Amino acid sequence: AQTVTQSQPEMSVQEAETVTLSCTYDTSENNYYLFWYKQPPSRQMILVIRQEAYKQQNATENRFSVNFQKAAKSFSLKISDSQLGDTAMYFCAFSRPKNAGNMLTFGGGTRLMVKP
Amino acid sequence: EPEVTQTPSHQVTQMGQEVILRCVPISNHLYFYWYRQILGQKVEFLVSFYNNEISEKSEIFDDQFSVERPDGSNFTLKIRSTKLEDSAMYFCASSEEGQPSPDTQYFGPGTRLTVL
């Protein structure tokens, strides 16, 4: 079974600064996907970024980027130029490909507060 | 941009009653999922559905739960006899079969279920 661990229950950052959220996972699979989802106070789950394990290049999506270290099973999210609207819970998630059963396994979340 | 929709946004029910939560997945998606999130806890997988049958389910998804795709657009989750511990946010998600992102799950806004 896969497990996903987010070791930082809460973090805060000043507006316009950079913050990094940590995520580690455990799996014996070689091919899988990793995701970061954002959950604002409305509780909607919004996809932030995804990474395919077979790709060495780290995914980037505007101000959001990841540091994917496959050997270390680490998948951190960097938010640059933090904005007040980035305040939310952030969940790291793991899935196998569809042909292997692709339920998402979530970490416990990190609550990020962006301060003005 | 197409999105997953869910109704109702909030459902209040008495213990022992049956509830049906409804979802309309993104139109060209073929894989459907239900997740739940008890307040303050992590998001948990319930069930995945493809080609008119359950493809994977978790231990939470016991005989009290069922899913159905009654027509070409809706995907429902039924809880036969609700318990207090079923109170949670229920998320529907869907993913497409082909490229460009076949394994990315897109979430609806959730239905908050309160069992009294």
More confident residue, B15 or A43: B15
Residue-wise pLDDT tens digits, A30-85? 889 999 999 998 888 899 999 999 888 999 999 999 999 999 999 999 999 999 99
CATH, residue A61: 2.60.40.10
- Inform me whether the pLDDT recorded for B100 exceeds 80: no
Domains annotated on chain B, with CATH = 5-98+105-115 (2.60.40.10)
Count, residues in chain A: 116
Instruction: Show residues of chain B in contact with A29, CB under 8 Å.
Output: none
Residue B103 has pLDDT above 90, yes or no: no
Task: Write the DSSP assignment of B27-87 as a string of letters.
Answer: TT--EEEEEEE-TTS--EEEEEEETTEEEEE-TT--TTEEEE--SSS-EEEEESS--GGG-
Domain span including residue A77: 3-115
A58: which DSSP letter?
Answer: P
Residue A21 pLDDT class (50, 70, 90 cuts):
very high
Name the minimum distance, in Å, from the CA of B17 to any CA of chain A.
25
Question: Tokens for A32?
Answer: 């899988």
Q: What residues in B contact A105, CB-CB < 8 Å?
A: 45
- Residue B102: predicted pLDDT: 57
**Is the Cβ pair B42, A106 closer than 8 Å?**
yes
Task: Verify cis geometry, omega within 30 degrees of 0, for the bond prior to B100.
Answer: yes
pLDDT at B70: 86
Which amino acid is it at B108? G
Count structural domains, chain A: 1
The pLDDT > 70 percentage for chain B reads 95
* Residue pointed to by tokens 């959220």: A21
